[in-house]
Amino acid sequence: MYKCNVTKYSLHLIRSMYYGLIVLFYGKITTDFKPCIEFFYAKTIPQGISGDGYQALCQYYESQYHFATLYDRNRRIPLFSAYILRPGEGSRPKNTNWMIEPRVSYVKYHYPDVNPDVKNSQAVNEDYRNSGYSRGHLAPSGHQQTEEDKKATFTLTNIVPQMEKFNNGPWKILEESMAKRLEVCTSKMYVITGVMPYVNDEPTINNRVTVPEYFWTAYCCPTFTAGLQNYFPTFAAVGRNDPNSKDDIVKKNTEDGHDVMEMSLEDLEKILQKRLKMPKMSLFKNECKEEKSFFGFG
């Protein structure tokens, strides 16, 4: 279970503007991932990821849930986002404002006033200005189906500081290859994408928002057609956000240092278990293998 100091939150979205805040309120109150459990394979959240200051978020926009996020209020970044990969037609939404989630904060406030202390537990748009980092999606808009799905990803609770060359280069190529593999997936493809912080001396932007050392992703597709068996039912990858990182997780094989290494789900879970210092780790129930009944039916 996730240890959270906030017992209730509503997914109220605030659009962060340059000279103020436009507040959009939505009356959804919950305490865990139950309202958006559909975004996890077999309706089971990852096992073995817990910590103080972690907040479960069901990302709610335009009267529906779009994906799920585990947010680290201490580092002011999401630890992972979980979603169903279903890319639709259309490009990245234009002129989309970045949104924040006031109920992630440790403080209470009353409408119409937004307590400035909301910044204590999450990133805001000004943190990224002139930081040298791009706003990196964990649940990317390109993996979403409808215009509303795409726009819902533009919340800073789904964003981490990502090197622009990494964001628009190797990591983008990986996201595109995942979407391509969906063509041979005959069931839903469940994706969890997250980050790994540095072990020590974690860098920040604006002295507030932690910069992760690595990005990771894993998908689960329990049924699929022949042809790419090596990539199903699960597969995973880790990428170097820091081009100067050591070679202990992902070796540097390119000049810019933003290498991405694909691997098995088991290998990724071992890496996460060690880096996050957790006794066990399981991203997908039963390793994404379909459960069969006693009589042999699914």
Q: Residue 249 pLDDT more than 70?
A: yes
What pTM does this model have?
A: 0.87
CATH of domain 9-286: 3.40.570.10
Confidence of residue 183 (pLDDT cuts 50, 70, 90): very high
The three-state (H, E, C) secondary structure of the chain, written as one string: CCECCCCCEECCEEEEECCEEEEECCCCEECCCHHHHHHCHHHCCCECCCCECEEEEEEEECCEEEEEEEEECCCCEEEEEEEECCCCCCCCCCCCCCEECHHHCCCCCCCCCCCHHHHHHCCCHHHHCCCCCEEEECCCHHHCCCHHHHHHCCEHHHEEEECHHHHCCHHHHHHHHHHHHHHHECCCCEEEEEEECCCCCCCEECCCEECCCEEEEEEECCCECCCCHHHCCEEEEEEECCCCCCCCCCCCCCCCCCCEEEECHHHHHHHHHHHCCCCCCECCHHHHCCCCCCCCCC
pLDDT score, position 98: 87
The chain-wide mean pLDDT, for the chain, equals 85
pLDDT score, position 113: 41
What does the pLDDT look like over 4-54, one tens digit per residue? 433 333 444 444 443 334 333 333 445 689 999 999 999 999 998 888 889
pLDDT score, position 148: 93
pLDDT score, position 101: 80
pLDDT score, position 135: 96
What does the pLDDT look like over 275-294, one tens digit per residue? 998 988 999 999 998 765 44
- Structure-model confidence comparison of residues 211 and 277, the more confident one: 211
Max avg pLDDT among 56-70, 223-237, 280-294: 56-70
> What's the whole-number mean pLDDT along residues 79-97?
86
pLDDT score, position 88: 82
pLDDT score, position 24: 39
Contacts of 2 (CB under 8 A, 6+ apart): 32, 49, 50, 51, 54, 55, 56, 70
> What's the whole-number mean pLDDT along residues 150-162?
96
Counting residues of the chain whose pLDDT is more than 90, the rounded percentage is 68
* CB-facing half-sphere around the CA of 297: CA atoms within 13 A: 1
Confidence of residue 91 (pLDDT cuts 50, 70, 90): confident
Q: Residue 111 pLDDT more than 50?
A: no
Q: Where exactly are the structural domains of the chain?
A: 9-286
